[in-house]
Amino acid sequence: MNAVETIVETVDWARMAQPQDDGYDTEVTLQLAENGVTPLRPLPYRRRPPDGAATFCDGAVAVRQAPVRGMMTDALLPARVDHPNIAAGGALLSRWPAAYRQFTRLIDTVYPYTDPEQARMGGQALGSSSHSYEEDFGSIHATVDDALGFAQALIHEMAHQKLRALGVSIENAERLITNSCSEVFESPIRKDRKRPMSAVVHAQYSFIHVTALDLYMLARANSRQERQLILMLLARNVPRMKSGYEELARHVKTDEAGRQFIDAFMRWSSDVLARGQAELDANGYGAA
């Protein structure tokens, strides 16, 4: 039995779905990343020190100059590493303490980008484009034109990286999810085509993290304007996460570890969605 198999055998999978206050899931994720390899990630993960780079999140995460086309398009351009929304996004993420601690342990580098069209909108901009690569665990590429959207991008891409370390890639799964890659389902995010169940799980898992962060940010909103912007984000996410929840409930297939993981994830999702809908109802957004 190799190191990864030994780790997998001892994991309490019911504690891996949601960021844990004691960091249990963070440490297991790191162990798997540091001991495991995949076809797309042929080398074990080793955390990169800042090495003089700009940092945020209390100095824990480096902000490095973004490569051109690192987001796979000419429309998004490398941004300044000292862009003010980087620190602001980190502060927003810290409103969810367990997720903030997990982020600073799992992510060592953020590459900032700007969307010129969004940047021209100034204070009217809302949202972020982001990406992370399986072969580059610990790094995130994201636009920084909107601090709220950037905070969402950080937790969104961290969740993707975590799920990959647990053995679930976008197009297939090594463990947890057992649906055939030839089966395709409705994604709660991508509506242009149906996706393998592993991709649906990735979409649902990453955006439940985003929706949970929306609630933490909302609870500590600093102004009426910030509160309204967060409610707009929440109103965008709750309906599609409800749709994704139903798709998983109907169609996801798992191994025994996956059953424990998915059951815990669905319980957490149900709670997040109930609280999110309650906030929307209380603030005049109606049924989602």
Element (H, E) at 165: helix 147-165
Give the pLDDT confidence of 114-140 residue by residue, as tens digits: 999 998 887 778 899 999 999 999 999
- Please give the sequence-ordered ranges of beta strands (E in DSSP) within 97-194, or none if there are none: 109-114, 130-131, 139-143
Yes or no: say if 268 and 16 are a contact pair by the CB < 8 Å rule: no
Q: Give the integer Cα–Cα distance in Å for 146 and 136.
A: 25
pLDDT at 287: 54
Residue 122 has a pLDDT of 77
Say what the pLDDT of residue 288 is: 47
Each residue's pLDDT tens digit, 26-80: 999 999 999 998 888 889 999 999 999 999 999 999 999 999 999 999 999 999 9
Question: For residue 255, is pLDDT > 80?
Answer: yes
High-pLDDT (> 90) share of the chain, %: 91
**212-230 pLDDT per residue, tens:** 999 999 999 999 999 999 9
Cβ(220)–Cβ(233) under 8 Å? no
What digits encode the pLDDT tens for the residues 186-201? 999 988 899 999 999 9
Query: Given this model, what pLDDT does residue 37 score?
Result: 87
Confidence label for 149 from pLDDT (cuts 50, 70 and 90): very high
- For the chain, the structural domain boundaries read 18-166, 172-288
User: H or E stretch including 38?
Assistant: none
Q: What is the pTM of this model?
A: 0.96
Please state whether beta strands 61-63 and 54-56 pair in parallel, antiparallel, or not at all (unpaired). Answer: antiparallel
- Please tell me the chain's helix, strand, coil percentages from 3-state DSSP, rounded to the nearest 5: 50, 10, 40
What's 188's DSSP letter?
S
Q: What angle do CA 51, 87, 202 make, to 5 degrees?
A: 85
- pLDDT score of 286 more than 80: no
pLDDT at 97 over 60: yes
HSE (side-chain half, CA atoms, 13 Å) at 235: 14
Specify the amino acid at residue 274.
Answer: A
Compute the mean pLDDT over every residue in the chain, rounded to the nearest whole number: 95
